[in-house]
Amino acid sequence: MAKERIGFIGVGLMGHGMAANIVDKGWPLTVMGHRNREPVEDLKRRGAAEASTPRELAEASDIVVMCVTGSPQVEAVVNGPDGLASAGKPLLIVDCSTSEPSVTTRLAAELEPKGIVLIDAPLGRTPKDAWEGTLDVMAGGAPEHVERARPVLEAFAGRILPTGPTGTGHTMKLLNNFLSMGYAALYSEALTMGAKAGLTPAVFDSVIRGGRMDCGFYQTFFKWVLERDPNAHRFTLRNGLKDMTYMASFANAAGAANPLGAAVRNSFAMAVGAGRGDEYVPRLSDIVAELNGTSLAVGQDAEKAPGKP
């Protein structure tokens, strides 16, 4: 049985590895042009075709996977000029972005009369896992639509976790990111308070690592803190703020008090407001330390800390 034709929009940090796995595992793949030409050219060398607009990509595809920044970008790709919907044909759209759940459910309802199915399939783990085909996928949608998408998702995912109807995948992703961004804010403040008391990051790590508070997120975060590995966790502070803003919107819509979420969001808003939004999440530890007049930089004094002039 012939494989369905796959379109892919958003071949950035995460999407490049995902798309590479799809084409390398034998799926007919069309990708849309990206401002960064390097991943597009790499995927073309692997056998992918390129489309210049979402409409052109839709015309060449049966299933379209999107991995863009968030809901505004998803809506632009789907309903904008020359968007996916303008092709006027049945499609299964798999939104792997971190999007606002209320927008996802509204968009799915708008597309259904046009013969277009939208399911949400946001991702857990890192770009390294995207390349290794070991991402987590939180899949929201009717069981038959998730099952249709499953073989494609399996090209880049180690775990596919159905969450319920369309929109629940994006809700679960926001909860997941609330936990991870919350850890980042907690680590950053704890490290700063330790530094104020003369406790180095190495001492802090010697107590936490291997104990009950250790976890995978802690380990990637501390690859920056201890080793200054710039690629330890390739997720920007700006994206963290975007996700925590979506979380606040979700809490407001649900009528739920979300005081810890507000505190986490403010930590990221502070970093972005300081002009550091394009730095990766572990750098929050340096920003919090600097604002408190200290430094976490291993082997450096406060005058040489990252971000200092």
How far separated are the first and last CA of the chain, in Å rounded?
A: 61
Residue 3 annotated as catalytic: no
What amino acid is encoded at 165 in this protein? P
HSE (side-chain half, CA atoms, 13 Å) at 173: 32
∠ Cα 164 171 190 (to 5°) = 135
Strand-pairing partners, residue 117, are 92
30 φ, ψ to 5°? -120, 130
Q: How many Cβ atoms are within 10 Å of 69's Cβ, its own excluded?
A: 16
Q: Which residues contact 173 (CB under 8 A, 6 or more apart)?
A: 98, 122, 123, 124, 138
Cβ–Cβ < 8 Å for 182, 47: no
Nearest to 298 by CA among 206, 226, 191, 205: 226
CA dihedral 75, 78, 79, 83 (to 10 degrees): 140
Active-site residue identified among 89, 114, 173, 223: 173
CA 147 to the chain's CA centroid: 23
Q: How many Cβ atoms are within 10 Å of 97's Cβ, its own excluded?
A: 25
- Active-site residues: which are they? 173
